[in-house]
A = this chain, B = another copy of it.
Amino acid sequence: MSTSVSPLAPKTFATLPPLRGVRMATAEAGIKYKNRTDVLMMVFDGPAAAAGVFTRSRCSSAPVDFCRRNLAGGVARAVVVNSGNANAFTGRKGRAATELTASSAAAAVGCAESEVFLASTGVIGEPLDATKFSGVLSDMNLRATEDFWFEAAKAIMTTDTYPKVATRTAEIAGVTVTINGIAKGAGMIAPDMATMLSFVVTDAALSAPVLQELLSKGVGPSFNSVTVDSDTSTSDTLMLFATGAAEADGQAPITDVANEALDGFRLALNDLLKDLALQVVRDGEGARKMVAVTVEGAESDAAAKRVALSIANSPLVKTAVAGEDANWGRVVMAVGKSGEVADRDRLEIWFGDVRVAVDGERDPDYSEADASAVMKQQDIAVRVNLNLGSGHATVYTCDLTKEYVEINGDYRS
């Protein structure tokens, strides 16, 4: 874990209100870290609707496999998350660890194992000794409290330099509901899925299929549009739960995603997902600058996104940003290597408000001083217009610094 906080960290953290129907507790199980919490347990008072999006890695972790199976039921009573060990590529031992954890959680809470969800983050390939925390789950269930979101976010950190939290409210047919979310992630961050763990809970009364559809759509412009290092983790997990507590205030349960009463909720959820995703980028390992890469004028939105990711993942673009160098030639290179249709002689490129290239060459009005001034900022917008169609997309990344190399050159030791 890093000792200094990212210079891109939020200046203040959102205060997450208690959310009816879910309680949390954390514990120090000593899985890898000393003197800090490394296990989080979320307990739902009743059956909560559950939805999830997971890594597309072909080598997904044991907890991801476990969650995918249980998601078919669509009901959650408990979530157990640990940091320090990803329980990934741990074979039969990994499966046994998930089973032990699930049975311990189910016994503690009094629910079925199919109502338990698990996530692990940390080193890959080391067997996880689940007995370290399975024994404390009963106690955690008794201690769990509603007003515990910030502590929950802290317990799931690995190389994160700050906890990631966000909260929103929305109205559903006149009833105010709340959405709280926490996330972790700093490296091994790329689509798809957004290499990290995130747990979002609402007190709204929504069916599991509605939740799933909202989440699957919402992840596109948020967690699936951020990249730190193009490396996709084996453990990426984003889950959304609905406790349904707002039913007591008169919110009629929603089971149809097309219901217009959901419009405000959808906006609030998408906004919260983007907030959390950007917090992950802003904590990118070694990051000193945040970069928003927008591609317009592509043949389709999907093509725009591929070009944007080619730019955002280019080591040469990212090191140029680190060096505050307005090296738009590398942006041209990254457009060219994306494989998408591009006409060199139609390209326009901006850094911030400074157009640096137009019609296949340097902008005649280009000012090195103006472009350099943009590069000195902490948040940098790179915009490319392919001038071919109407497809557009924005992805978010950070610069590539010596600190990234330092953090990742000796992570295990």
Contact = CB atoms under 8 A, between A and B. Distances in A.
A404 B323 CA distance: 12
A404 B344 CA distance: 28
Interface in A301-323: 313-316, 319-320, 322-323
Interface string A380-413: 0000000000000000000011101110111111
A229 interface: yes
A57 interface: yes
Contacts of A327: 411-412
Instruction: Count the copies.
Output: 2
B59 A319 contact: no
A338 interface: yes
Contacts of A123: 329
A256 B412 CA distance: 56
Contact of A361 (B58, B94, B325): B94
A interface, size bucket: 35 or more
A40 interface: no
A190 B409 CA distance: 22
A266 interface: no
Contacts of A315: 229-231, 315, 400, 404, 408
A338 B229 contact: no
A320 to B, nearest CB: 7
Interface string A109-143: 00000000000000111110000000000000000
A94 to B, nearest CB: 7
Interface in A330-346: 330, 332-345
B408 A332 contact: no
Contacts of A408: 315-316, 319-320, 323
Specify which of A229, A231, A401, A411 lies most central, judged by the most chain B CB atoms within 10 Å of its CB. A231
Contacts of A58: 335-336, 338-344
B405 A332 contact: no
Contact of A411 (B125, B232, B233, B325): B325
A333 B234 contact: yes
A245 to B, nearest CB: 38
A253 interface: no
A409 B327 CA distance: 10
Specify which of A89, A229, A401 lies most central, judged by the most chain B CB atoms within 10 Å of its CB. A89
A156 to B, nearest CB: 19
A145 interface: no
B127 A362 contact: yes
A327 B188 CA distance: 14
B325 A410 contact: yes
B360 A322 contact: no
Nearest to A317: B231
17 contacts: A57-B337, A58-B340, A58-B344, A60-B344, A88-B332, A89-B347, A90-B362, A229-B316, A232-B336, A315-B315, A316-B408, A320-B409, A323-B409, A325-B409, A325-B411, A400-B405, A401-B405
